[in-house]
Chain A
Amino acid sequence: MSVAVEKIGLYPRFRRLALPRTLISGAIIIGVSLLIAFFPALFAPYDPIAFDYKALLKGPTLAHPFGTDSFGRDVLSRVIHAYTIDMQIAVFATVGPFIFGTIVGAYVGYAGGLAEAIFGRVVDAVITFPFLVLVIAIVSVLGPGLGNMYVAVGIVGWVFYARLVAAEVKVQKRLDYADAGRVMGYTPMRIVFRHLLPNAITPAIVYWMTDMALAILLGSSLGYLGLGAQPPAAEWGVQIADGKNFMSTAWWISVFPGIAIVITGLGFSLLGDGLAQLMRVRR
């Protein structure tokens, strides 16, 4: 009898420790990626932009495990140094939209009425355009480069966060504790940002993780098109573009940065998935 009771007592405790496997694998991938991004010099065997005319377009060897490109630069070192830029893109291109979209979404969700009607039309306008086309259009107006790319992504990206948060706040504001806040005489600002938002932000955080994967894809797409990071900077999209003329003879120039994109994107997706799973369990 007492054994059974103990087991019941232990079980929830045990389950709380069991994190989703997706979360763990995602966290490992992103953790390692961040480590490389912060200290690329520790991992890269060569200078990423140093030319070596004695070793042009060399295939993978022990000296150059990922081979060299058309200027003799070490592809492995470039892939490693690109982590710094691409992880930066993942964070910088999403953190602004995340914060701004959350604030707007919280306001719109709580206020409703006219604000919601206007917001709805803005969402429609943004969603009707293909995301990439809109960003490319904005970048070509502002000019290429990483800074302008963040602006372009930010102008479009906040809408998705705002939509998620607004929908959640709309649910939360009808609950008793929101009424309780009003009854206690809290200001609307206080109710929205201190009481409702912590309950409404989960989907936005989960989406944020997925969005970082999308940001890396977008960043390297723009790099490929020459609208994002500029050569000779080591960036995966730029590297793939560098290798496109040598695809048949020196596949390694483009393929290895491509694999890096896939792995990092997968890491963020797993992290987002795992977080979503974790939050669902908690509810």
Chain B
Amino acid sequence: MSAGIGTGLGLTVRGLTTLFDTPRGMALAVADVDLDVGPGEMVGLVGESGSGKSVTLRSIMGLIQTPGHVTGKVEWGGRDLVAMPAEELRRIRGSEIAMIFQEPMTALNPVLPVGLQLEENLVAHTRLNARERRARALELMNIVGIPAAERRLNEYPHQFSGGMRQRAMIAIALACSPKLLLADEPTTALDVTIQDQILKLLLDLRDRLAMSVVLVTHDLGVIAGTCDRMAVMYAGRIVEMGTVIDVFRQPRHPYTRGLLGSVPRAGAVRTMLSSIEGTPPGLTDLPAGCAFHPRCSFATDICRQERPPLQSLGADRKVACFHHDRVAAAEAIL
């Protein structure tokens, strides 16, 4: 599926770069990220902690505050979200683009009833009156599968379980039927059975509401189970991109390969899980050349001197590695 660049449909990110001015120097949190999300498409963004995936999402949404600084283009419906005046951006947030967070515990206001928080979104973006808002709130609670909605609307977040809180958060995000949902590790804080329910809910909503979803996670299993395409991030850059099937079948970046190798799989012979040696680099002093070379078993001299560009390999497949052929040809890890 190719995203419609310039067609006004979907999200087109070009050269998104986010810098943080820290006492220890400029931290390059997101570097030159290109990303397309077509209508109704679910795109996964995966990487270790600190790889810049959450910051990418927050940069798209315009949530970066000083000392952070965002450059590049985030096109949504033909408009650039980065250059847009604050008031115009405010109108788009919550109505056309919504976002859900990792911790439903902290993303809901502890002192306001859930129903009121739901209706806040409608107050901000619609002209519905109190009765219509209440009706819409009930409808949303049903959509996300919260039972006893009538009673639940008057309860406070602490009276909700973790899974129910995330459902409520999703209901708030969906209030104005957004066309794009940015999900920042929506299932990380939940236990596995609830995780599965929430992901199924997201998939179901994507289909029913024709909504695009960007799903940030560090869990490859989540990506495999839900997304159409995926992008792998390392040290603020996208290092590999493609359809989920392609990337899982034949990873072409050593980092992706390492990630896949470190996941246990059902049905396979039990062996030692391979881990990626070393730790991700600090964002204020990235190594010269390819940021991954100190941890890479495929690295050669050129990797230490030059940064590999993100090159296209056929339709919808991109990789930033000089040795992607060798990586692809290496012994299968799955």
* Contact residues of A between 157 and 207, Cβ < 8 Å to B: 175-177, 179-187, 190, 194-195, 198-199
Beta-carbon nearest neighbor of B105 in chain A: A176
How many whole Å from B186's CB to the nearest CB in chain A? 12
> Could you say which interface size class chain B belongs to?
20 to 34
How many whole Å from B102's CB to the nearest CB in chain A? 8
A187 touches B112 (CB 8 A): no
Tell me the bound Cα distance from A184 to B61 in angstroms. Answer: 10
Contact residues in A for B120 (Cβ distance below 8 Å): 181, 184, 186, 190, 194-195
- Dominant secondary structure at the A interface: helix
A183 touches B106 (CB 8 A): no
Q: Hey, what's the 0/1 contact readout for B124-147 against A, CB within 8 Å counting as 1? A: 110000000000000000000000
B93 at the A interface (CB under 8 A): yes
Contact residues in B for A184 (Cβ distance below 8 Å): 93-94, 98, 120-121, 124, 172-173
Instruction: State which of B90, B101, B125 has its C-beta within 8 Å of the C-beta of A180.
Output: B101
Contact residues in A for B102 (Cβ distance below 8 Å): 176
For chain A, the count of residues having a C-beta within 8 Å of the partner chain is 17
Contact residues in A for B112 (Cβ distance below 8 Å): 194-195, 198
B286 at the A interface (CB under 8 A): no
Instruction: State which of B109, B121, B124 has its C-beta within 8 Å of the C-beta of A177.
Output: B109
Q: Hey, what's the 0/1 contact readout for A32-62 against B, CB within 8 Å counting as 1? A: 0000000000000000000000000000000
Contact residues in B for A179 (Cβ distance below 8 Å): 63, 101, 107
Contact residues in A for B94 (Cβ distance below 8 Å): 183-186
Beta-carbon nearest neighbor of A197 in chain B: B111
B101 touches A185 (CB 8 A): no
A199 touches B101 (CB 8 A): no
Q: Decide: A185 near B106, CB < 8 A? Known: A176-B101, A179-B63, A194-B120.
A: no
Find the residue from A182, A185, A195, A198 having the highest chain B CB count within 10 A: A185
Q: Hey, what's the 0/1 contact readout for B88-111 against A, CB within 8 Å counting as 1? A: 001111110011011100111111
B124 touches A186 (CB 8 A): yes
B63 touches A190 (CB 8 A): no
Q: Decide: A176 near B124, CB < 8 A? Known: A184-B98, A185-B94.
A: no
Instruction: State which of A182, A183, A199 has its C-beta within 8 Å of the C-beta of B109.
Output: A199
Q: Decide: A185 near B63, CB < 8 A? Known: A176-B103, A180-B108, A198-B112.
A: no
Beta-carbon nearest neighbor of B172 in chain A: A184
B107 touches A185 (CB 8 A): no
Tell me the bound Cα distance from A187 to B107 in angstroms. Answer: 17
Tell me the bound Cα distance from A183 to B173 in angstroms. Answer: 9
How many whole Å from A242's CB to the nearest CB in chain B? 48
Tell me the bound Cα distance from A246 to B112 in angstroms. Answer: 58
Find the residue from A180, A186, A187 having the highest chain B CB count within 10 A: A180
Tell me the bound Cα distance from A199 to B107 in angstroms. Answer: 13
Instruction: State which of B101, B111, B172 has its C-beta within 8 Å of the C-beta of A198.
Output: B111
B124 touches A190 (CB 8 A): yes
User: 4 closest Cβ contacts across the A-B interface?
Assistant: A185-B94, A185-B93, A184-B94, A176-B106
28 contacts between A and B (CB under 8 A): A175-B106, A176-B102, A176-B107, A177-B106, A177-B109, A180-B107, A180-B108, A180-B169, A180-B172, A181-B109, A181-B120, A182-B63, A182-B93, A183-B61, A183-B63, A183-B93, A184-B94, A184-B98, A185-B93, A185-B95, A185-B121, A186-B94, A187-B124, A194-B112, A195-B109, A198-B109, A198-B112, A199-B111
